[in-house]
Chain A
Amino acid sequence: MLEIENLHVSVAGKAILKGLSLAIRPGEVHAIMGPNGAGKSTLGHVLAGREGYDVTQGSVRYLGEDLLSLAPEERAAKGVFLAFQYPVEIPGVNNTYFLRTALNAQRKARGENELDAMQFLKLTREKLKVLSISDELLHRAVNEGFSGGEKKRNEIFQMAVLEPRLAILDETDSGLDIDALKTVAEGVNRLRSPERGFLVITHYQRLLDYIVPDVVHVLADGRIVESGDKSLALTLEEHGYAWIKERKPGAAA
């Protein structure tokens, strides 16, 4: 469903991704690991369509379409979801209202009926139950005054409601204690399905104890230098990222 070919991306003239290739099939969970500055978050932002990331070479196809030619909101409507590393606060905008606006904008773009307030409420109730999130979060402004854990849980909640085809989790584990981490992982696992692909970006192996990936990629200096099954994450944990540097880039391609 997602085919990234030889992707080169610059930010403010500086090359960050330098020939990244990756393919995700429906139902697969791919983990991207790598040291700080390797380009992990850049990958997430490029896929979601953030401005200021210049694709200088390569292509990204998503469900047979040229993903890079789509505006961010079009990508969202087609099922691309990015769970932010740092979820953004929008003061005064009710969390439920925000999410309903988002869902209805997506549904409208797809030619589906928009949900009215009652239908939406029913939907959120179902999702909340599954994710064990307090419905108090619904009544507050988007991420405003949320703890780190609450923000990340709210991202997962949004994902559950929006039901994307491709979910990108950008260091969703960062700043979480073990209980919050388990809740978030549980939320993700419940959303795993044969149609849905996941790209889990993380710095630590810890998250992958709970979200077990099908494929693990190691990203270093803008390229994927190693790919393997879940055991690769453990090897990496054991040896540290220094181990990667000793290996030749492109060995995994």
Chain B
Amino acid sequence: MSELLESHTSGNAHVDELVRKGYEHGFVTDIETEVLPPGLNEGVIRAISARKQEPAWLTDWRLSAYRHWLTMAPPEWARLEIAPIDFQAISYFAAPKKNLPKSLDEVDPKLLETFDKLGVPLHERARLAGVAVDAVFDSVSVGTTFKKELNAAGVIFCSFSEAVREHPELIQKYLGSVVPAGDNYFAALNSAVFSDGSFVFVPKGVRCPMELSTYFRINARDTGQFERTLIVVEDAGHVSYLEGCTAPMRDENQLHAAVVELVALEDAQIKYSTVQNWYPGDEDGKGGIYNFVTKRGDCRGARSKISWTQVETGSAITWKYPSCVLRGDDSVGEFYSVALTNHRQQADTGTKMIHLGARTKSKIISKGISAGRGQNTYRGLVKVEKSAVGARNFTQCDSLLIGKRCGAHTFPYIEVKQPSAIVEHEATTSKISDDQLFYCLSRGIDEENAVSMIVDGFCKQVFKELPMEFAVEAKKLLEVSLEGAIG
């Protein structure tokens, strides 16, 4: 610990040395990775900030978040069983060791190979699909494509670190403006130690010419990953952002606590789609990612719109409530979710729709699928403040049970302070019935395909909100995730 504190004062060379010591912890891929030794204290935070050559205000911001975090306790209200997390056993920084490449040609071929195995459309497929990819390997971005075309449109899409260097005024203006540093336990932790992530800025009147996609992957052992994503869309701008994740097999639990902030100004539209498939642990619940995410969008301007679509099939534990603050009059918030839990997976997920502006509208479509011994909870808040004259909400919350040992739970919270508001809530719970299965079998469709077809049908309302290539991926993901769920 004292070594680390010194490292801050003695500069980067010493940090590098400390970082090199980290090798004794061993690595999974052959790529040399720089890792800070496990542990969390102000020295580590200063080291991260120094390593990334951040301005003093950002170091201070991290430190105040850390100090706040120390006063907080992990949330216990979720319907989750979480083994205590030893935050001192986690290493808070990992980066590919070599100098950051300026183009894909400079990217370590081994890394590209890994991406290939994961099916990440980094070069050819990305080009074919017209998707710009800002690939995050561990904690630092290593390659960005389509920069030029985006530049021409005036869109900024880069790693968070780069944004701190190149666009500090934007970061300073918007960072923490949607999710304050001390918002909740995990957001505070992220604010203190976030490593990297993505930054998107769409200026006034610009429609982003392509869908933006970032693939995250957790690779280094025992390295908690703390991404920070910030998307700002100015007046009448549009952007669609896709986030997809996979992770290889791992025995240790890995902590993941991301923060995503979206800001939509007047008439702006943001569509944020996630396919999350981190390692869920084995059939007995051993291993798997702990996924504690704070995602929030601020419809700051009138007539703005933020739409969240998520397909959550991975992680041992998912704690995630992508929310919308509907501040601008006539602004619109949407949440479409498919959450699947199999084996011993647990998910407590939903959304918050906070209606502040007049005639604000929100729509929630949640589909929970439980199989094996999975536990799936929908938790959603619809809050209509007095100012939200004529606000409307529609919530539909459906659960599908596969087998007899899983659970589905629904906790809708509704707070309405404006009498003209209309809030509707519908909920159903159903099982894949023997009748449905036999009907498919008797037509020649085998059991595995029958189940995946029935589940796909159940999720249709959400899948149709996903961009095309994601919808295909999501369907496959559900098939894979449900393997062995029946029989």
Q: A residues bordering B, Cβ < 8 Å?
A: 48-52, 71-73, 75-77, 81-82, 84, 86-93, 98-99, 101-103, 105-106, 109, 141-142, 158, 162
Contact = CB atoms under 8 A, between A and B. Distances in A.
A73 B446 contact: yes
Given A88-B435, A92-B461, A82 B456 contact: no
A91 to B, nearest CB: 6
B147 interface: no
Interface residues of B, number: 23
B438 A91 contact: no
Given A50-B442, A91-B458, A93-B456, 7 more contacts: A73-B446, A82-B442, A92-B458, A98-B440, A102-B440, A102-B443, A141-B457
Nearest to A52: B434
A105 B438 contact: no
Contacts of A72: 438, 441-442
Nearest to B432: A90
Contacts of A109: 444
Nearest to A48: B442
Contacts of B456: 92-93
B457 A105 contact: no
B460 interface: yes
Given A98-B453, A101-B449, A90 B443 contact: no
Contact of B457 (A50, A92, A158, A162): A92
B438 A102 contact: no
Given A50-B438, A90-B436, A105 B461 contact: no
Contacts of A103: 444
B426 to A, nearest CB: 14
B45 interface: no
Contacts, number: 82
A82 B435 CA distance: 13
A156 B64 CA distance: 70
B439 interface: yes
Contacts of A101: 445, 449, 453
5 contacts: A52-B434, A76-B443, A76-B444, A90-B439, A109-B444
A66 B49 CA distance: 73
* 3 closest cross-chain pairs (CB), A and B: A92-B457, A76-B444, A93-B457
Nearest to A50: B438
B257 interface: no
Interface in B455-470: 456-461
Given A51-B434, A84-B439, A92 B445 contact: no
Nearest to B446: A73
Contact of A102 (B445, B457, B460, B461): B445
B463 to A, nearest CB: 9
Contacts of A92: 456-461
B454 interface: yes
B439 A87 contact: yes
Contacts of B447: 73
A103 B435 CA distance: 20
Interface of B: 433-436, 438-447, 449, 453-454, 456-461
B459 to A, nearest CB: 7
Contacts of B446: 71, 73, 105
Contacts of B435: 86, 88
A140 to B, nearest CB: 12
A93 B444 contact: no
Nearest to B454: A90
A88 B461 contact: no
A78 to B, nearest CB: 9
B434 to A, nearest CB: 7
Contacts of A82: 442
Contacts of B457: 90-93, 141-142
B441 A49 contact: yes
A75, A81, A102, A158: which has the most chain B beta carbons within 10 Å? A102
A90 B453 contact: yes
A52, A81, A101: which has the most chain B beta carbons within 10 Å? A101
A48 to B, nearest CB: 5
A88 B436 contact: yes
Nearest to A168: B442
A93 B400 CA distance: 15
A51, A73, A87, A106: which has the most chain B beta carbons within 10 Å? A73
Contacts of B440: 90, 98, 102
A109 to B, nearest CB: 7
B438 to A, nearest CB: 5
Nearest to B461: A92
B397 to A, nearest CB: 15
Contacts of A71: 441, 446
A248 to B, nearest CB: 35
Given A88-B436, A92-B460, A77 B454 contact: no
A158 B443 contact: yes
Contacts of B442: 48-50, 72-73, 75-76, 81-82, 84
Nearest to B463: A92
Contact of A93 (B434, B438, B441, B453): B453
B441 A106 contact: no
A105 B444 contact: yes
B441, B443, B447, B453: which has the most chain A beta carbons within 10 Å? B443
A96 to B, nearest CB: 13
B368 to A, nearest CB: 15
A101 B475 CA distance: 15
A102 B444 contact: yes
A88 B441 contact: no
Contacts of A75: 442
A90 B451 CA distance: 11
A51 B433 CA distance: 13
A75 B446 CA distance: 11
B134 to A, nearest CB: 34
Nearest to A89: B436
Contacts of A91: 457-458
